[in-house]
Amino acid sequence: MVAHDLHPGYLSSRYARDRAGRRIAVQHHHAHVVAVAAEHGLSGPFIGVAYDGLGMGDDGTLWGGELLLATYTGYRRLARFARAPLPGGAAAVRRPARMALGYLFGGEDLGGPRPGPDSFPSRLDPREVAVVHRMVRRGVNAPLASSAGRLFDAVASLLGLCDEATYEGEAAVLLEAAASGHGPTPALPWGLAYRDGLTVYDPAPTLRAVLAAGTGPVGRVAAAFHTTLAEVTCALVDDAARRTGIRTVCLGGGVFANRRLTTDLLDRLRCNGFDAYTGEQVPVGDGGVSYGQAAVAAARLAAERE
Q: Where are the chain's structural domains?
A: 2-305
What is the average pLDDT value for the chain, to the nearest integer? Answer: 94
pLDDT at 58 over 80: yes
pLDDT at 241 over 90: yes
CA distances to 70, 98, 127 from 60, rounded to whole Å, are: 19, 22, 32
For the chain, count helices (H), then strands (E). 11, 11
Q: What's the pLDDT at 112?
A: 79
Single pTM value for the model: 0.95
Cβ neighbors of 117 (< 8 A, separation 6 or more) are: 101, 104, 105, 129, 133
Q: Give the residue ranges of DSSP H helices in 159-288.
A: 170-179, 204-212, 218-244, 259-271
Enter the CATH code of domain 2-305: 3.30.420.40
Cβ neighbors of 35 (< 8 A, separation 6 or more) are: 252, 279, 282, 284, 288, 289, 291, 292, 295
Inter-residue contact 265 to 284 (CB < 8 Å): no
Decide the pairing of beta strands 46-56 and 144-147: unpaired
Q: What is the Cα–Cα distance from 298 to 277, expressed in whole angstroms?
A: 21
pLDDT at 104 over 80: yes
pLDDT at 9 over 80: no
